[in-house]
Structure 1
């Protein structure tokens, strides 16, 4: 393969501080500083893995963050799947998601992978995955 994973995923938030706290508390993510990104825009980078970031934007007057619809009705990108670093990390994340009210803790088995779905504070659906051979 010519690629080595995903570098970043960018999305819009109303409250990047709240979102940053969630990803830091649940996933041990590293939240960078918020920077100006143009008139009425800010960008905050949240490092969620060794090579992967969430680039979170706030944009004055943009209401897209308010639009949440059921799965497969969200547009071209439906949800984000994050890879757990280990079986232990998957268990820790699962419990943190339950404790934060972001998930009911249901573990889904998809043959080669197990996963847990969650909703972040902005309502964006996410999934944490672990290959079955490491479970």
Structure 2
């Protein structure tokens, strides 16, 4: 395989500080500085490192209401949800408990044969899924 996971996902958020805290507290993510972005300097971009070569590029764009628009699955636009790979079964267990503790997930684990997963919803309402290989 030529790919080894996700490099980045670009998101629009209304509150990058809240989003950054969530990913730092649950996933031990590293939240970078917020910088001006775009032609007029009104929008900002913050990089949230969620893995050794994977990031969330979070944009805050004044007046953009897309972060408020959350509809049922497969109706949320091009980006429906994030699938995040847990580094190990132990990491999956830690993440699962943190998601439960923050109220972001009910803790239900799905068995898809080769992987186990659980779904969560981040503070912006974006659906996420954490996966780990079975027997790893």
* Range class of TM-score, shorter chain: over 0.9
Q: Which residue of structure 1 aligns with residue 112 of structure 2?
A: 110
Q: How does 1:1-135 map to 2 (within 5 A)?
A: 1-38=1-38, 39=40, 40-134=42-136
Which stretches of structure 1, 4 residues or more, deviate above 6 A after TM superposition? none
Q: Which runs of 5 or more residues in structure 1 are unaligned?
A: none
Q: Which runs of 5 or more residues in structure 2 are unaligned?
A: none
SS of the residue 2:135 aligns to:
helix
Structure 2 CA distance for aligned equivalents of residues 28 and 41 of structure 1:
26
TM-score normalised to structure 2 length: 0.95
TM-score normalised to structure 1 length: 0.96
Cα drift, residue 128 of structure 1: 0.3
